[in-house]
Structure 1
Amino acid sequence: MAQQNIKLQQFFAAPRVVVFRHFADHDNFGRLWWPARCKVLRRGETEEPGGIGSVREMRIGTIRFQETITAFDPPQRIEYRVTSGGPFKNHVGQMEFSEVPGGTQLDYQIEFDSRWPLVGNFVAGVLHTAWLRGVAVAVDRMAARSNT
């Protein structure tokens, strides 16, 4: 089965630390992937609750899977892996936060293999559509935070 590789980018008119904290918060991350529901199963091993070793459960309808944070380098990088459940295997998400003129650039890459034929393309399409919906809300929230 072919590996799916999704590359997403977004500019935020907000400082890198604000954008990083937004995505490091599991609740915000769950809201980004509408209609996913996110539940924190274990806090991180560091002072940051969403840091290395933290585990969140994502639910989309009857599908459940767990994501474990495997790299956490504030305010530059977050990486996670699906460690249980879901219609995919070898799933890795990497978020890189860069300072750019006027704000922050987020480069987000998701790679996974599907457990079942033809499901990978469908899941990739759903993730991309959900990103477009959810990131618009995140952009507005962070712009409002930086103006206060």
Structure 2
Amino acid sequence: MTQQLIQLQHFFALPRERVFAYFVQHDNFGRLWWPAQCRWIKAAPNGDANGVGSVREIRVGLVRFEETTTEITPDSTIEYRVTRGGPFKNHVGRMRFSEVPGGTQLDYDIAFDCRWPLFGNFVSGVMHAAWLRGVNRAVDRLMSGDR
């Protein structure tokens, strides 16, 4: 299998707490990945809809998979793993939020294994393009005060 690593970054001219609070919510996270559809399906064991152990379902056409939140460090880190379905193995996403002069730096890494190298490269390109569209919508929502 071929390991794919997608590294995405974005600067937000907003406080880290506000940016983190936006991205930790499953509904907002799902807006990043159009045309994928994202819906929350299970709360964390402590009842928190967006906490460690919570699950969201992602659908892209006929492909369906579930992502489980595996780590949350408030205002700092969100990590999730694909725990059911999907065409890839060992899929892990990690978002790191850093306070920088004038705002927040988001560094977002997505790693997965793919049996077919060219297909993995294609998916990486599609995800990068979707991120660029989606993160700009997130900026608009955050700047307007939406959560």
Mapping 1:88-107, distance limit 5 Å: 88-107=88-107
Secondary structure in 1 aligned to 2:70? strand
TM-score (norm. length: structure 1) = 0.93
Secondary structure in 1 aligned to 2:44? coil
Aligned equivalents of 2:115 and 2:66: distance in 1?
Answer: 16
Residues 35, 60 of structure 1: 8 Å contact kept: yes
Secondary structure in 2 aligned to 1:145? coil
CA separation of 1:47 and 1:17: change in aligned 2, threshold 3 A: farther
Letter of the 1:56 partner, please give it. Answer: R
Give the equivalent residue in structure 1 for 2:83: 83
Structure 1 position 31 matched with structure 2 position 54: no
Mapping 1:15-94, distance limit 5 Å: 15-46=15-46, 48-94=48-94
Aligned equivalents of 1:22 and 1:46: distance in 2?
Answer: 20
TM-score (norm. length: structure 2) = 0.93
Superposed CA RMSD = 1.4
Aligned residue pair count:
146
Residues 2, 116 of structure 2: 8 Å contact kept: no
Letter of the 1:64 partner, please give it. Answer: R
Give the equivalent residue in structure 2 for 1:144: 144
Give the equivalent residue in structure 1 for 2:122: 122
Unaligned runs of 5+ in 2: none
> Percent identity, aligned pairs only?
63
Residues 2, 115 of structure 2: 8 Å contact kept: no
Aligned equivalents of 1:47 and 1:128: distance in 2?
Answer: 33
Give the Å deviation of 1:116: 4.0
Residues 33, 131 of structure 2: 8 Å contact kept: yes
Residues 48, 54 of structure 2: 8 Å contact kept: no
